[in-house]
Amino acid sequence: MAGFWTGAAALATAGRRGRRWPKLLMRSVALWTVKHVPHYSRRYLVVSRTLCSAGYDSNEKTFDKILIANRGEIACRVIKTCKKMGIKTVAIHSDVDASSVHVKMADEAVCVGPAPTSKSYLNMNAIMDAVRSTRAQAVHPGYGFLSENKEFAKRLAAEDVIFIGPDTHAIQAMGDKIESKLLAKKAKVNTIPGFDGVVKDADEAVRIAREIGYPVMIKASAGGGGKGMRIAWDDEETRDGFRFSSQEAASSFGDDRLLIEKFIDNPRHIEIQVLGDKHGNALWLNERECSIQRRNQKVVEEAPSIFLDSETRRAMGEQAVALAKAVNYSSAGTVEFLVDSKKNFYFLEMNTRLQVEHPVTECITGLDLVQEMIRVAKGYPLRHKQADIPINGWAVECRVYAEDPYKSFGLPSVGRLSQYEEPIHLPGVRVDSGIQPGSDISIYYDPMISKLITYGSDRTEALKRMEDALDSYVIRGVTHNIALLREVIINSRFIEGDINTKFLSDVYPDGFKGHPLTETERNQFLAVASSLFVASQLRAQHFQDHESSRVPIVKPQVASWELSVKLHDEIHTVVVSSSGPTFSHEPQKLLHSYMVEVDGSKLNVTSTWNLASPLLSVNVDGTQRTIQCLSREAGGNMSIQFLGTVYKVRILTKLAAELNKFMLEKAAEDTSSILRSPMPGVVVAISVKPGDLVAEGQEICVIEAMKMQNSMTAGKTGKVKSVHCKAGDTVGEGDLLVELE
């Protein structure tokens, strides 16, 4: 499990505003100073490799033991703060999670059931038994699962166990989108026009949608995290949206109630972090920009927002605090807003829990939000005033998923992590994860691998560090979305701040295709790939102990290699010449340079060519690139991750290329008459049977993956020949579902 961002800065200040303490020199930790830490917390806010927080006062007694009712990265995140505070921890886990990282990190662990969430992480009876058997004094729910379940909070309270979150009144009021909207109006918070009651059926949904005016947003009343949400632009989409949203809501939250409101087209999604205590105090901890989304789930977040000015920020913060105070909110929570192009903002929902993206707020404020939640739950007042909350630097978070970004911007991928290395050796990088080499990504849980966070003095530095971190992130064994994440953060619209919740579909209307290489980048890639090929050929010819070999071998002296390189169905002639070894500035590293001629351009490529390393730093005519060679085959096929995207090339010598012309190509499968599962998941429903006539685009079946339901449709008009699955079946990516005649 990786720590916080490395080699970063710390915040410090004196008790009186405007007066600073002298800087301290600490081994391995750089200290910065910033104003606004209140008199009663005169301590340095140390940002280290472990966590960023206002230092913990060991004399401030909280809890002896906390049970974390969650799994994965958020469970690990909570355990880290508990360890810092001297609190023992209890992990719960399903049977398939028995060897998970969060289980190993905790002091105790209790199995609460089999893999399905309904039988384990949502199994209140089993979790309550775990609380009793371990004598935990408090429970931290993380996010998702039971984090916003008022019944769970009530059951804990009935047994004098502290729920580390708001009280049941706030959970109920803010967890129900209908009630929260009414409370927001009463608290004078800007709200979106819509229907404030529960939608009974599809017919009523259509009637309400027509009254509001299309487009509308259909969403689960008790939902969150993009589950149970659909946008409808007409009556048919409203009926389909009602069906899918209610099913997803029932599956994810055990509550199928829906509401409908006006869909604000092209908005930004900006949220305010709030923090309240049990003494009537509440703060807003600045905003997070979360507009880059797919299927209503966030992909890239940052703090602060490049769009807000100080006046709008303050207005949003004050309204968020007003809403929190209206329900006597006590804990960390988030008020989400939609913001239009004119900076008008509308209340969306309040999440009465810790958010996935909370690390970016921690980076710019210096607060440890988990620590603050624990303090508040124990009854301590907040240590800070509103004027004490800084915006120091810039932070960006990318959600790294086990997903195929080339399918609907990310359909789940499952598998075992055969190799996994986090880029925490780079400055300003933090990785929150709950996995390790050998961990399994299964169909039962969210496919998130980690949260990758970078921090800098400004947005430019934070984004550059994110670019480097993504290039240096080694993930093997599952498909991941790093290519998409990297493209987003280097996109000119994103860099300029011209973003909204439709960013991905606007920028990639035909779907994500990977990084489009410029001519210069293409030549650089071909030069690097060719040099890598030559380096591997030379290594294959090398004998470690030539003198002791039984058969003397005379090595051919090759001055240059003429290669045929196929990339994107185009064949390039590349000539590689060795320039010989040179010594680097780093001890024990021998650099080797190649002069490469690509389509008339000459490039100098230098590296250590350590083919055993998953990462390879290569200098191409003065430009430093970090690449990953994912595979090399004897037939000349190579897969190389370059600028985030994996490119497949075939490199052959001149002779091998001439002989390859006589090889037969494998015929591609005709997929027009078959339907295969695009992702691993569970078949929820089958809409056809053999003999049925189907039209192009007609629903064939519904696949649920990671609690999201996806409608599979016919690719052409025809008659159903055979059905190879039934409701309840577990299917893998590429499995045959239905055949047409």
Tell me the catalytic residues: 349
* CB-CB neighbours of 228 under 10 Å: 31
- Cα distance between residue 300 and residue 289, in whole Å: 8
* CB-CB neighbours of 288 under 10 Å: 26
Distance of CA 66 to the CA centre of its chain: 26
Distance of CA 302 to the CA centre of its chain: 12
Q: Which residues contact 194 (CB under 8 A, 6 or more apart)?
A: 181, 212, 216, 217, 259, 260, 261, 262
Distance of CA 234 to the CA centre of its chain: 32
Query: Which residues on adjacent β-strands are paired with residue 67?
Result: 90, 139
> Which bin fits 127, alpha (ψ -120 to 50), beta or left (φ > 0)?
alpha
Contact between 624 and 611 under an 8 Å Cβ cutoff? The reply is: no
Contact between 674 and 588 under an 8 Å Cβ cutoff? The reply is: no
* CB-CB neighbours of 388 under 10 Å: 18
- Cα distance between residue 394 and residue 229, in whole Å: 31
Three-state DSSP at 470 gives helix
For the record, the structure tokens of 675 come out as 């339907």
Contact between 410 and 508 under an 8 Å Cβ cutoff? The reply is: no
C-alpha dist (Å) from residue 383 to 61, 393, 533, 696: 15, 22, 59, 62
* 108-113 and 88-94 strand pairing: parallel
The order of strands in the sheet holding 88-94 is 108-113, 88-94, 65-68, 138-140, 162-163
Please choose, from the candidates 663, 651, 634, 646, the residue with its C-alpha nearest in 3D space to the C-alpha of residue 596.
651
Residue whose tokens read 């439709």: 502
- Cα distance between residue 79 and residue 662, in whole Å: 61
* CB-CB neighbours of 51 under 10 Å: 21
- Cα distance between residue 99 and residue 513, in whole Å: 36
